[in-house]
Amino acid sequence: MKKIITIVFRCLLGLVVLTSVGTAIFIYKITYGFPVSYETEKPVINFPQRQPAILVFSKTTAFRHSESIEASKSAISEMARRNKWFIYETEAGGIFNLQQLAHFKVVVFNNVTGRVLNEQQHQALSKYIENGGSLVGIHGAGDNSHHWPWYEKYLIGARFSHHSLSPHLQKAVIHLQTGADTLLTNNLPHSWNHTDEWYVFFNKPKEVHVAAYINGNSIKPSGNLLWIRDKNFGMGSYHPVAWYRRVHKGKTFYTSMGHSAEAWKDTRFLHLIENGLRWSIQ
Ligand SMILES: [Zn+2]
């Protein structure tokens, strides 16, 4: 009997240790991304003339929104067809050099997570934006896995804390911000229902113009950590979900929406992204 109890105890202990190690690895991965090699080879691209070029970058080293990234490709291609844009989609960082970035009107960080570029590539992207380029960030592009102060300041403007978890996906009413740039609000109703994984930041985004917001009190902002529940930190009831700003001669647009593939079937979300791209290009 004693032997059985010892075996059961050891099995349970083993299970606890395995679960703890698994959880620790997962938390490390989504916060920092696993170390990767950075691609430095410049791709060969034939840029068409007189067609605005958009670089859609979907590399991840932290949490990967596989379904959303997959769904975004055909949706963005469809927008490109309508608007006569040239899309270059890649997950390799070699494109992040000043000479090739100069060909693009916009760089999209399409649910990019983790540390995906080396120091030189960071500098190329920040210079490209400051010299007049545009950066559009979607959902995961705003989490806390990037560890790049320039990017956090100029694209996100806030520090990501956590996201809704119970329930994970929640319905909320999106409200357009009065006075927001009409290029960004074009084709959108004043308000609409949207289901997403809602991001909570430690503060409201700083030095940005809000394009859309939800009522922070209407969602359950339960966190990633079981023992910290119902926290909304500095977001309060006025909870921005899409914002934009100028960065020297360039500009950035970010939306915290876009967790699921379903978002890419929602015409309102699609209009918001299309508007963000149009605003970035003009
Ligand atoms: Zn997500």
Measured in Å, residue 259 CA sits from the centre of ligand 1 at 4
Measured in Å, residue 141 CA sits from the centre of ligand 1 at 10
Whole-number pLDDT of residue 2: 80
CA nearest to 59, candidates 44, 39, 74: 39
User: In this model, does residue 13 exceed pLDDT 90?
Assistant: no
Whole-number pLDDT of residue 20: 76
CA nearest to 140, candidates 62, 88, 209: 62
Measured in Å, residue 110 CA sits from the centre of ligand 1 at 12
Measured in Å, residue 199 CA sits from the centre of ligand 1 at 8
Say how far apart CA 215 and CA 201 lie, in whole Å.
14
As a whole number, mean pLDDT of residues 86-103 equals 98
pLDDT tens sequence across 65-79: 999 999 999 999 999
Measured in Å, residue 162 CA sits from the centre of ligand 1 at 10
The torsion angles phi and psi of 207, rounded to 5 degrees, stand at 55, 40
pLDDT tens sequence across 237-274: 999 999 999 999 999 999 999 999 999 999 999 999 99
Q: What is the mean pLDDT of the chain?
A: 93
* Residue spans of beta strands (DSSP E) within the chain: 53-57, 86-90, 106-110, 134-138, 160-163, 170-176, 191-196, 199-201, 209-215, 238-247, 250-255
Measured in Å, residue 200 CA sits from the centre of ligand 1 at 12
Whole-number pLDDT of residue 226: 62
Measured in Å, residue 257 CA sits from the centre of ligand 1 at 8
Measured in Å, residue 46 CA sits from the centre of ligand 1 at 33
User: In this model, does residue 35 exceed pLDDT 70?
Assistant: no
pLDDT tens sequence across 189-240: 999 999 999 999 999 999 999 999 999 999 988 766 666 666 777 788 999 9
Say how far apart CA 253 and CA 259 lie, in whole Å.
17
Measured in Å, residue 142 CA sits from the centre of ligand 1 at 10
Measured in Å, residue 177 CA sits from the centre of ligand 1 at 23
As a whole number, mean pLDDT of residues 146-155 equals 96
User: In this model, does residue 61 exceed pLDDT 80?
Assistant: yes
Domain locations in the chain as residue ranges: 53-281
pLDDT band at 144 (very low <50, low <70, confident <90, very high): very high
Q: ∠ CA(146), CA(140), CA(151), 5° rounding?
A: 35
Whole-number pLDDT of residue 230: 60
User: In this model, does residue 33 exceed pLDDT 80?
Assistant: no
CA nearest to 252, candidates 142, 165, 161: 142
Per mean pLDDT, which range of 7-16, 88-97, 98-107, 196-205 is the poorest?
Answer: 7-16
pLDDT band at 141 (very low <50, low <70, confident <90, very high): very high
Say how far apart CA 106 and CA 263 lie, in whole Å.
21
Whole-number pLDDT of residue 191: 98
Residues 6+ away with beta carbon under 8 Å from 31: 62, 144, 145
Fold topology of 53-281: Rossmann fold (3.40.50)
Say how far apart CA 224 and CA 120 lie, in whole Å.
33
Whole-number pLDDT of residue 173: 98
Measured in Å, residue 139 CA sits from the centre of ligand 1 at 6
Say how far apart CA 53 and CA 107 lie, in whole Å.
9
Measured in Å, residue 94 CA sits from the centre of ligand 1 at 26
Tokens standing for residue 259: 């967790």
Calculate helix-pair angle for 267-281, 66-83, nearest 10 degrees: 60
Measured in Å, residue 131 CA sits from the centre of ligand 1 at 31
Please name the amino acid found at residue 84.
K
Measured in Å, residue 249 CA sits from the centre of ligand 1 at 31
User: In this model, does residue 23 exceed pLDDT 80?
Assistant: no
Q: Is the pTM of this model over 0.85?
A: yes
